[in-house]
Amino acid sequence: MAENVKWHKDSYKGAVAVTPADSDLVDPVSAFYVGVTGDVQVLTNSGETTLFVAVPAGAIIPVACIQIMTTNTTATSIVGLK
């Protein structure tokens, strides 16, 4: 079945479960998916700390991040997309 999959040029090529931490991810992500509604604070690749408030379950936030922080993050079931 996998051989029938056609990748869109903007598709993500991988995913990894994320445990929020106030330290750098092993591999930075291009975006992240939120499984359970809440706030998510990130450190972007450009060094900016940003708080996304009330991110709904099922949302994909297309922001490249080096950290998905414990501080101020209440959302759970977060998946990093590469």
Question: Residue 36 falls within a domain, yes or no?
Answer: yes
Burial class, 37, CB count within 10 angstroms (exposed 0-12 / middle 13-18 / buried 19+): middle
Residue 59 lies in a domain: yes
Q: How many domains does the chain have?
A: 1
pLDDT, tens digit, for every residue of 27-80? 999 999 999 999 999 999 999 999 999 999 999 999 999 999 999 999 999 999
Inside any domain, residue 7 = no
Range of the domain at 27: 20-81
In a domain, 5, yes or no: no
Residue 65 resides in a domain:
yes
pTM as predicted: 0.86
15 within some domain: no
65 burial type by CB count under 10 A (0-12 exposed, 13-18 middle, 19+ buried): buried
DSSP state of 63: -
- Whether 4 is in a domain gets the answer no
| Separation of alpha carbons 80 and 5, rounded Å | 21
